[in-house]
């Protein structure tokens, strides 16, 4: 991106030009990525989930796997994300099941974000398959917002063979609602000054940030549409919803001062795994803490980050979930320190006496390793062994070598840590 366009993008609001925000959302992204690799799946009912590929009529070990994504033909049968995979197969027996391959999806995502960067440097990733773009400063060069959005959709298709829905508005919240309303493969422009009128007839659940619980509370207040929410007195909303009610009502009117923000240091990094059969073996779970800690350490080093807090997350068979954390004397990125701290947290729980369904290890309070001072840097630096293992895996593949204590173990789940398109490829 040229320095001229960067200067223009940063100075447009001072020139009095109305903001122009795009929200681009790739349609059925995971399923579309599978169709790119398997053209025979195009137009079919495709479900992404689990660890095994299944064709219509084939049976396989589904366990506790859930649907991560579904093509639109599969959605027509009622298949939805987060649905148990076994239930999805019952609803759509003609479906093709493809196992999750996050690294492939991340690679495809990077190609899409490269296209977005040709329009504006102000791109805020929301996940692998969606982003906000501030194109206010691009209008002078590339034309009106609607033209930019149309050309961008065409470029994503021409270069990446992916369909995208795009909403155009003066604020992020309205642009996102617009992109949802025009799915799949659509374009919807909300002209400046019409934001409140556009949102007013929509149900409250269409507003980002309103989940089922908040929607139910609003229904109890007889607030069914965004227009009704925007007009409701702040005092009554605050009494029912808490201090965030005023901001919610403002967004329902299309008012959203939140700028498009370039990605920075993440708040946390974590890895977790869900077991196909509940586990009670305390020693085995301790080894899994070490393996998960090693995965987290590799992710920190890949991003040149260190962490001050180690977290442990356990979900028991009855779905009770507990979390523990420990603050370390100085920031770290070493596999052993993270894994052994998590194992110590594990020892303080009731593991062994209760069946465990899910185990996770994470880190918080992240900072750039390069910013550490002379006194904290030595304890945060990875050991020579960590660096050597990183190099071997980068050269020969993720399974090239492991510490003995890590063991082979089950495959690690993917989670939101994989969905950061601004991060370097992860050494899985």
Q: Which whole-number Å values give the CA distances from 12 to 8, 15, 20, 22, 227, in the listed order? A: 6, 5, 10, 16, 30
User: Which residues, including other chains, have CB under 8 Å from residue 133's CB and lie 6 or more apart?
Assistant: 21, 22, 23, 24, 116, 119, 120, 122, 123, 124, 152, 260
Range 342-348 contact pairs with CB under 8 angstroms and sequence separation of 24 or more: 342/289, 342/290, 342/292, 342/293, 342/310, 342/311, 342/312, 343/286, 343/289, 343/290, 343/293, 345/310, 345/311, 345/312, 346/282, 346/285, 346/286, 346/289, 346/312, 346/314, 347/282, 347/286, 348/324
Active site residue 295: no
* Tokens representing residue 20 in the block: 């122009």
The per-residue DSSP string of 234-263 comes to HHHHHHHH-TTHHHHHHHHTT---PPP---
Pick the catalytic residue from 130, 195, 295, 406: 130
What residues act catalytically? 130
């Amino acid at each position: 991106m040229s320095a001229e366009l960067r200067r223009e993008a940063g100075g447009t609001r001072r020139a009095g030009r109305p903001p122009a925000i795009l929200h681009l959302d790739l349609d059925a992204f995971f399923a579309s990525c599978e169709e790119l690799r398997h053209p025979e799946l195009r137009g079919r009912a495709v479900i992404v989930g689990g660890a095994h590929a299944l064709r219509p009529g084939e049976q396989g070990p589904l366990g506790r796997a859930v649907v991560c994504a579904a093509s639109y033909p599969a959605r027509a049968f009622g298949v939805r994300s987060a649905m148990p995979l076994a239930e999805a197969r019952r609803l759509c027996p003609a479906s093709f099941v493809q196992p999750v391959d996050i690294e492939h999806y991340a690679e495809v995502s990077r190609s899409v974000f490269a296209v977005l960067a040709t329009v504006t440097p102000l791109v805020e990733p929301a996940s692998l398959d969606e982003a906000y773009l501030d194109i206010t400063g691009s209008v002078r060069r590339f034309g009106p917002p609607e033209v930019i959005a149309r050309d961008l959709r065409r470029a994503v298709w021409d270069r990446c063979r992916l369909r995208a829905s795009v909403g155009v508005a003066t604020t992020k919240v309205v642009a996102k609602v617009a992109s949802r309303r025009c799915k799949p493969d659509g374009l919807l422009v909300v002209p400046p000054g019409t934001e409140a009128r556009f949102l007013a007839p929509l149900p409250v659940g269409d507003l980002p940030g309103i989940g089922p619980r908040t929607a139910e509370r609003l229904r109890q207040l007889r607030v069914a549409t965004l227009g009704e929410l925007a007009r409701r007195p702040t005092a009554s909303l605050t009494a029912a919803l808490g201090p965030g009610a005023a901001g919610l009502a403002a967004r329902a009117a299309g008012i959203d001062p939140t700028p498009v923000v370039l990605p920075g240091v993440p708040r946390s990094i974590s890895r977790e795994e869900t077991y196909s059969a509940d586990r009670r073996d305390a020693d085995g779970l301790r080894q899994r803490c070490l393996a998960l800690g090693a995965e987290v350490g590799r992710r920190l080093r890949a991003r040149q980050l260190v962490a001050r807090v180690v977290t442990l997350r356990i979900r028991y068979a009855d779905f009770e979930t507990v979390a523990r954390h420990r603050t370390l004397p100085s920031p770290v990125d070493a596999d052993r320190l993270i894994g052994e701290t998590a194992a110590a947290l594990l020892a303080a729980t009731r593991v062994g006496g209760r069946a465990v369904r899910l185990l996770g290890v994470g880190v918080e309070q992240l900072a750039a390793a390069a910013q550490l001072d002379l006194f904290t840097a030595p304890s945060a630096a990875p050991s020579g062994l960590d660096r050597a293992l990183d190099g071997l895996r980068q050269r020969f593949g993720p399974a090239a070598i492991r510490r003995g204590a890590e063991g082979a173990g089950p495959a690690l789940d993917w989670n939101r840590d994989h969905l950061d398109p601004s991060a370097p490829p992860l050494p899985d």
